Amino acid sequence: MFSIPLGSLVPEYIKKFEPYVPSKPDQELMKMYGCERLYRLNNNENPLGPPPASQEIIRQLWPPKAGIYPSGDIYYMRYRLAEKFNMHPDQFLFGNGANEVIAFVIKAFCQEGDNIITADKTFAVYEWVATFSGFEARLVPLRDFGFDDAGMLDQIDERTKILFVCNPNNPTGTYWNEDTLRNFLDVIGGRQIVVVDEAYCEFVEKEDYPDGMKLVEEYPNLVVFRTFSKMYGLAGLRIGYLAGNLEVVDIIRRTCVVYSVNTVAQDTALAAIDDDDHVRRTRDLVRTEKAYLNAELDLLGLETQSGEGCYIMIKLPMSDTLAYRKLMSEGVMIRSMTGFRFPNWIRVSIGKHEAMEAFADALRKILAR
Amino acid sequence: MKNYMERTSLDARINPIFTALVTSFAEQSAKAFGLDHAGALKLTLACEEIFTYLCGIDKGDKPVTIEAKNGLYFVQVKILFDVAHFDPRAFNLTAKVSLDDESGLEDMGLLIASRSVDRFSINHDAREGTGVVLIKERTYPEITWAESTAVKPLKGFTITAPDPEALKLFAHQTVSTYSDNPYPPDFRFPGKLVDMVASGEYKALIATDNYGAIGGGVIWRWRIARKKIVECAGPYIFGQPPESGIAEKLMDALIGAIAKTEAICLINEYASPELPKQYFEPLGLVDYYGPDGTFVPWCLYYRLLKEDVGSQVWAHPELEDFLKIQYKSLSFARKIVLTSYGGEARPPHSVFASQFVRTQRVVTLRPVWDGIDVSVNLSRHVQILKNEDIQTIFLEIDLGHAWQANLVPALRENGFTPRLILPYAGRADIVVFQYREGM
C-alpha cells in the first residue's frame, strides 16, 4: 500500500484549518442523550416548514424525474426573479444553498495575497471559505453587537477584494439601515466588491431596512445573497442565490458549479417565491413567540440580544457548551456561541409555542441545578 | 530577536564508531542555539547515553537521525531510528531492570539521560515514528524579590498582547500578588516567559490602561503533542475590583482567540481565585506531591469549545461505574461499550512511553504497546520512578482503543486509580489515572 505524503501534498492553510463538524442526525443524538423527543432550535429553520404549494410538489414528486438532470442554470427561477425584482435573468446565480455562492464570489475575485473583510462575530462561512482557500480574512470586532462600518473601512488596503456584511446579522440580529449601507457603498466607491447577505431579510419589518435588490442598479459593485432555507423553509433542499450587476455576475458565473441545485429544490422554490401569506404567517409566529420568549427570559433575569431575524441570543451564567449538553438531555437543541466568539451565549431559534415552552422549561431547570 | 526554530540534523548509523560524531553534533548544535556550556554538556551527555544505549541493544548498523531544534528558550534533540525494525520492549524505561538486582538501575542509559535534561520522552507512534526526545532549557535569572507594586483600579482598559517589557512586568506582578497561589513556574523567570511567548509556545493577553498600568492578564498554550487541548493559567488580577469585569474580558478574549482553531477543550490547571467560574466546569482533582511526601489536591477546570456530538468509548467493566458517574456529572453523551480479554493471544511485551518533567517531578506514562507482561512492566516503572524520587505519576489511557481500556485491571493492581476524564483528548476521551502508594 502507498503511503501518502500528506505533509508535502497539503497546503499550509489547509493544515491549519479546522473542519466543521455538523451535529449527528436527530435519532442518533436522542439515543446518545437519552431523550424521547428533540426540539431543533439550533439552525434557525422555519417552524412552519415550506409553503403549502412547495409541500405539495414534494408530495407529488414523480420518481422518474430523479433520474433526469435538473436545469443547469435554474432557468425558470431566474426568469421569475427577474420579473419580481425588475432585473435581467442573468443577474442571478444559484448555488446549493447560499453557502455555495459565498465560495463562487471568493473564487471569482481573490488570488494569492488578497484579503476579505467581515466582522469577527457573524456567520462563519465567509471567514471559513476565505481561510481554507488561502486568503486572509480580516475580522473587525462588532460595535454594540452590530457591524462596524468605520472599522471595516479602516481595514481596507490595496489587496482587499470583498467586504461581507450580514444584514441582519446572524447571530446578533442587528442591521444597517439604508443610510448606513448607502454611506458605506459611497465611501468604497466601487473599488471593492461589497456582499450584503440578506438570508434573513424576509423576517425584518423595520421601515428603514434597506432592500439590497433595489440598490444593485445604483451600486454595480454590490452583490446580494438570498436563500430559500430560512423564510421559505427549504433548508433541506439547499437552494440559495446571489444577485448583482450583469458584468459582475458574469465574472462570478465562471466559478459557478452548474447542476448543483436539484430539480426538487428548483420546483419548490419557484412555488414558494410568491407566497406572501406564508411570509405573513411566519412573521406573525416569530413576532408572537419572540415576545413570549423575551418575557420568559426577563423573568429569569438573563441578558439577551434580540434583534431582527428568527432567533435570540441569551447570555448564561454558565459555559454555553455545558448548557448545550444539559439542554440536549432535556430534549432541546440550541446553538452554543463559543464558535461565534461569544462565550457563554447561546442562540435559540424561534419555534412553535410548544417548542418555546419546552425550551423555557428546560432552561429554568438547568439554571436551577 | 534570535532566529528560533532553527534546525540541524545528522544522519548516521547505530554503531559506536559514530558516537563522537553524534556527541559533537549535539554539543555544537546546543551551543549554536544558545545553551550555556553547562547546559550544552548535559544535553550532550544525555544524547551520548541514548546513542550508546541504542548501540547496545541493536547491532544491526541501522540508520539513525539526530535532529536538533532551537526552541528559543530550550534546545531539543530528537533521536529517530528505524521504525521498520522496531523492538518495542527495548524502549521501556524498564528495559534493563532486573527486579532481583536493584544495582542494575544505575546502569540504565535511558534513566541517566532523563536525569540530565529538563524534559524527556520516549515515543513510538505509527505516524510520528520511534524516537527519544531530549529537551534542555536555557538558564534564566529567577525573580529573587517580588516587591508588590500596588495597582490602582484602572479607569478604563483594553485587552492587548503585551510587548516583552509589559510581559516581564506582568510576570513580576503575578509572582508578587499570588505568592500563596499557584501559577506556572515559568512566571518566576520573566525572561523565559518572554522567550516562550516569542517562540509561540505561550500566548498572553493583558488588560492595560492608557498609561500602561497592568490590571491583569492571562496566558495559554497548546498542550504539547495534543493539539486538541489548550491549557491556560489565571486570570491574574492586580488590585482591580470584581465589578471591573477584567477577568471576564480576559476570558472572552482568550476564548475568542481559540474558538475557531482545532482546539476542542480549554483546561485551566492554574486557576486563580478570580477565575470567573461561569466560564468553566470543574473537571476533577489530582494530587501533586512535594519532596517531603505531602500532597496538595489540585482542581482542574475546563470548558468544551465545541458542541458535544456524542461518541462511543471502550471500557473495561472495572471502569464502567467511574465512567458513568463522570459522564453524568459532566453531562457528556457517551455510549459505553464494555470490553475485556477473552483469552485471545496477546504480544508478550508491553511498552509505556514516559514523559518526564523534572522541574516539577512529574511523570506521565502512556501505553504504547499491549503485552501479557503489562502488570509486571508497570510495577517496574513505578519502582524505578520511586527510586528517582518521583512521586507524582500519572498514566493516561485512551478510551478510543479497546486494548488500552483492557489495561485497567493491571493499573488497579499497581496502585493506579482513575481521577478524571479529558474529553476528546485522544482518539476518544482520555482517562487520567494517578499512582498512590498503598492503593
The distance of B224 to chain A (nearest Cα, Å) reads 16
Closest CA to A330 of A285, A301, A360, A304: A360
The three three-digit cell numbers of residue B356, written as one number:
518526564
Q: Strand ranges (DSSP E) for B228-387?
A: 229-237, 265-271, 281-289, 295-304, 311-315, 334-338, 351-357, 362-369
Contact status, residue A132 vs residue A14, Cβ threshold 8 Å: yes
Q: Which residue of B has its CA nearest to A329?
A: B331
Residue of A344, A365, A367 to mutate for B, most B C-beta atoms under 10 A = A344
From chain B, pick out residues whose CB is under 8 angstroms from the CB of A21.
Answer: 306, 309
Contact status, residue B275 vs residue B299, Cβ threshold 8 Å: no
Closest CA to B217 of B170, B177, B157, B257: B170
Q: Tell me which DSSP letter residue A245 carries.
A: -
* A215–B contact, CB cutoff 8 A: no
The distance of A300 to chain B (nearest Cα, Å) reads 16
Closest CA to A285 of A350, A229, A332: A350
From chain B, pick out residues whose CB is under 8 angstroms from the CB of A25.
Answer: none
Give the helix, strand, coil percentages of chain A, each rounded to 5: 45, 15, 40
Taking CB atoms and an 8 Å limit, are B278 and A316 in contact across chains? yes
Give the integer Cα–Cα distance in Å for B309 and B336. 15
Q: Which helix (H) or strand (E) holds A57?
A: helix A52-59
pLDDT along chain A (369 residues), means of 10: 73 77 84 91 97 97 94 96 98 95 97 97 95 95 97 98 98 98 98 98 97 97 98 97 98 93 97 97 98 97 97 97 96 95 97 98 94
pLDDT in tens, B333-364: 999 999 998 888 888 888 888 887 776 788 99
pLDDT < 70: residue spans in chain B: 1-5, 82-91, 94-108, 124-129, 145-149, 180-181, 224-226, 290-291, 359, 438-439
- Restricting to B residues 178-207, those with a Cβ less than 8 Å away from any Cβ of A are none
Counting Cβ atoms within 10 Å, is residue A12 exposed (0-12), middle (13-18) or buried (19+)?
Answer: exposed
Taking CB atoms and an 8 Å limit, are B278 and A336 in contact across chains? no
Residues 6 or more apart from B406 whose CB is under 8 A from it? B316, B339, B340, B341, B370
Q: Tell me which DSSP letter residue A132 carries.
A: H
Contact status, residue A177 vs residue A183, Cβ threshold 8 Å: no
* A29–B contact, CB cutoff 8 A: yes
Give the integer Cα–Cα distance in Å for B282 and B268. 9
Counting Cβ atoms within 10 Å, is residue B438 exposed (0-12), middle (13-18) or buried (19+)?
Answer: exposed
Report pLDDT for B399. 96
Q: CA-CA distances (angstroms) from residue B174 to B148, B239, B243?
A: 9, 11, 20
Residues 6 or more apart from A182 whose CB is under 8 A from it? A210, A215
Nearest to A343 among B262, B279, B331 (CB): B279
Residues 6 or more apart from A361 whose CB is under 8 A from it? A330
Taking CB atoms and an 8 Å limit, are B303 and A318 in contact across chains? no
Nearest to B308 among A18, A127, A325 (CB): A325
Torsion, Cα of B251, B252, B255, B257 (10° steps): -120
Q: CA-CA distances (angstroms) from residue A101 to A105, B266, B379?
A: 6, 34, 61
Taking CB atoms and an 8 Å limit, are B279 and A21 in contact across chains? no
Q: Is B79 helix (H, G, I), strand (E, B) or coil?
A: strand
Taking CB atoms and an 8 Å limit, are B307 and A336 in contact across chains? yes
Taking CB atoms and an 8 Å limit, are B305 and A33 in contact across chains? no
* A124–B contact, CB cutoff 8 A: yes
Taking CB atoms and an 8 Å limit, are B307 and A24 in contact across chains? no
Q: Strand ranges (DSSP E) for B223-294?
A: 229-237, 265-271, 281-289
From chain A, pick out residues whose CB is under 8 angstroms from the CB of B310.
Answer: 24, 28-29, 32-33
Taking CB atoms and an 8 Å limit, are B259 and A339 in contact across chains? yes
Contact status, residue B59 vs residue B134, Cβ threshold 8 Å: no
Q: Strand ranges (DSSP E) for chain A?
A: 39-40, 92-95, 115-119, 136-140, 160-166, 193-197, 222-227, 240-244, 304-305, 311-315, 332-333, 335-336, 345-349
Taking CB atoms and an 8 Å limit, are B256 and A328 in contact across chains? no
Residue of A16, A20, A32 to mutate for B, most B C-beta atoms under 10 A = A32
Give the integer Cα–Cα distance in Å for A36 and A28. 11
Contact status, residue A79 vs residue A241, Cβ threshold 8 Å: no
C-alpha angle with apex A360: A356 to A363, nearest 5 degrees?
135
Q: Which helix (H) or strand (E) holds B136?
A: strand B129-137
The three three-digit cell numbers of residue B108, written as one number:
540504565
Q: Is B167 helix (H, G, I), strand (E, B) or coil?
A: helix
The three three-digit cell numbers of residue B379, written as one number:
510495577
The three three-digit cell numbers of residue B62, written as one number:
541501522
Give the integer Cα–Cα distance in Å for A296 and A311. 15
The distance of B84 to chain A (nearest Cα, Å) reads 14
Q: What is the ipTM of this complex?
A: 0.86
Taking CB atoms and an 8 Å limit, are A322 and B279 in contact across chains? no
Report pLDDT for B439. 58
Residue B241 sits at φ, ψ, to 5 deg, of: -70, 155
From chain A, pick out residues whose CB is under 8 angstroms from the CB of B335.
Answer: 31-32
CB atoms within 10 A of CB A96: 18
Q: What is the strand order of the sheet A304-305 is part of?
A: A304-305, A311-315, A345-349, A335-336
Report pLDDT for B95. 63
Taking CB atoms and an 8 Å limit, are A325 and B331 in contact across chains? yes
From chain B, pick out residues whose CB is under 8 angstroms from the CB of A343.
Answer: 251-252, 255-256, 259, 279, 303
Give the integer Cα–Cα distance in Å for B260 and A17. 9
The distance of A317 to chain B (nearest Cα, Å) reads 5
* A325–B contact, CB cutoff 8 A: yes
Taking CB atoms and an 8 Å limit, are A321 and B303 in contact across chains? yes
The three three-digit cell numbers of residue B397, written as one number:
489511557
Nearest to A29 among B279, B310, B334 (CB): B310
Nearest to A321 among B278, B304, B334 (CB): B304
Instruction: Give the gyration radius of chain B's Cα atoms.
Output: 23
Q: Is B126 helix (H, G, I), strand (E, B) or coil?
A: coil
* A132–B contact, CB cutoff 8 A: no
Closest CA to B262 of A131, A171, A138: A131
Q: Tell me which DSSP letter residue A158 carries.
A: T
Give the integer Cα–Cα distance in Å for B365 and A118. 45
The distance of B307 to chain A (nearest Cα, Å) reads 6
Q: Is A86 helix (H, G, I), strand (E, B) or coil?
A: coil
CB atoms within 10 A of CB A235: 19
- Restricting to B residues 268-327, those with a Cβ less than 8 Å away from any Cβ of A are 278-281, 303-310
Report pLDDT for B130. 73
C-alpha angle with apex A61: A56 to A67, nearest 5 degrees?
155
Q: Tell me which DSSP letter residue B98 carries.
A: B
Residue of B267, B277, B307, B329 to mutate for A, most A C-beta atoms under 10 A = B307
Cis bond leading into A210, ω under 30°?
no
The three three-digit cell numbers of residue B272, written as one number:
486563580
Contact status, residue B303 vs residue A324, Cβ threshold 8 Å: no
Taking CB atoms and an 8 Å limit, are B255 and A343 in contact across chains? yes
**A-B contacts at Cβ under 8 angstroms:** 82
Helix-then-strand count for chain B, H and E: 10, 19
Q: Is A25 helix (H, G, I), strand (E, B) or coil?
A: coil
Give the integer Cα–Cα distance in Å for A40 and A28. 14
- Round to the nearest angstrom and report the end-to-end CA distance of chain A: 54
Taking CB atoms and an 8 Å limit, are A33 and B261 in contact across chains? no
The bridge status of strand B63-70 relative to strand A345-349 is unpaired
Contact status, residue A175 vs residue A169, Cβ threshold 8 Å: yes
The bridge status of strand B203-208 relative to strand B158-160 is antiparallel
The distance of B105 to chain A (nearest Cα, Å) reads 40
* B438–A contact, CB cutoff 8 A: no
Give the integer Cα–Cα distance in Å for B232 and B184. 10
Report pLDDT for B387. 86
* B256–A contact, CB cutoff 8 A: yes
Which ranges of B228-279 does DSSP label H, i.e. alpha helix?
A: 246-258
From chain A, pick out residues whose CB is under 8 angstroms from the CB of B279.
Answer: 319, 343-344
Taking CB atoms and an 8 Å limit, are B309 and A338 in contact across chains? no
Taking CB atoms and an 8 Å limit, are B256 and A120 in contact across chains? yes
